[in-house]
A and B are shown apart, each in its own frame.
Chain A
Amino acid sequence: MEVPILKQGEFLIATIQAALTDNDLRAFRSALFEYVMRSRARGIIIDVTALDVLDSFGTRTLSEIALMSRLRGAETVIVGVQPEVAFAMVQLGLTLEGVTTALDLEEGLAHLNRKPKRLDT
């Protein structure tokens, strides 16, 4: 299951559309990071609305994406964490370290748009 990554202006939008295996998640991480390098994106939105489970591996992978992207000057915003998924994550003891979250795609974009632009764009 491949995760589509769209470029919208200075932002990348990745929408996870179905349950991902650990290997899918690793492939997504690599693909997204390659895209970040190539596109000079300054913001990334990952939409996890379709995910019914965010366990320790999924959370760690999202955190890694955010930390790696930050080193390239891009902020990651996770949108669409379902309420019951959030509840389970807290019970598990998971935190999305270094990751900004927003309710949905619209709020995620609004957040990124408030950030200063890159000098050369």
Chain B
Amino acid sequence: MAEEIVVPINCDLDIVTARQKARAMAAEIGFQTIDLTLIATAVSELARNIVHYARNGQIELRAINNRNGKRGLMVIARDEGPGIPNISRALQDGYSTSGSLGLGLPGARRLMDEFEIVSDTSSGTTITARKWLGSL
């Protein structure tokens, strides 16, 4: 199994590719149907944010283990876009600067087990999310 996959995100077709690759990798790790859909949906939102706000970036998918040997999937969404000026607001349901529903980021956070955002207006945004096997 590939331990790491990088999906370049440059257009809306890449959003579909990213979520399909995430689903496939999560299935190989051993995630079941519901989790596969949660992961694919979260990756879809993260990839769309890249296309929407930064235009270009990438989604990295990694098979990971924690200290107790638990398996999981790490998703890193990286872009060098304009950055998120106010992360806590961006994580509020219904807050959007683009006329969208404003559920992408807070929603993606709910779909995953761990979620971190590092962003500044000069170097862009990196969102790291993890989902652990059997943690539902």
Contact = CB atoms under 8 A, between A and B. Distances in A.
Interface stretch (B66-74, B98-106, B118-126): B98-106
Given A22-B48, A94-B103, A52 B15 contact: no
Query: Which of A22, A54, A55, A85 has the most chain B CB within a 10 Å cutoff?
Result: A55
A8 interface: no
Contacts of B44: 53, 55
A85 B19 CA distance: 14
B56 to A, nearest CB: 16
A52 B43 CA distance: 13
B110 interface: yes
A61 B101 CA distance: 11
A94 B19 contact: no
Interface SS, B side: helix
Given A84-B37, A87-B37, A92-B41, A56 B104 contact: yes
A80 to B, nearest CB: 14
Q: Is the interface of A mostly helix, strand, loop or mixed?
A: helix
Contact of A88 (B13, B37, B51, B101): B37
Contacts of A59: 101
Interface residues of B, number: 28
Contacts of B40: 52-53
A93 interface: yes
Interface string A40-83: 00000000000011111101100000000000000000000010
A55 B108 CA distance: 10
Interface of B: 12-13, 15-16, 19-20, 23, 33-34, 36-38, 40-41, 44-45, 48, 51, 93, 100-101, 103-104, 106-108, 110-111
Interface of A: 19-23, 52-57, 59-60, 82, 84-85, 87-89, 91-94
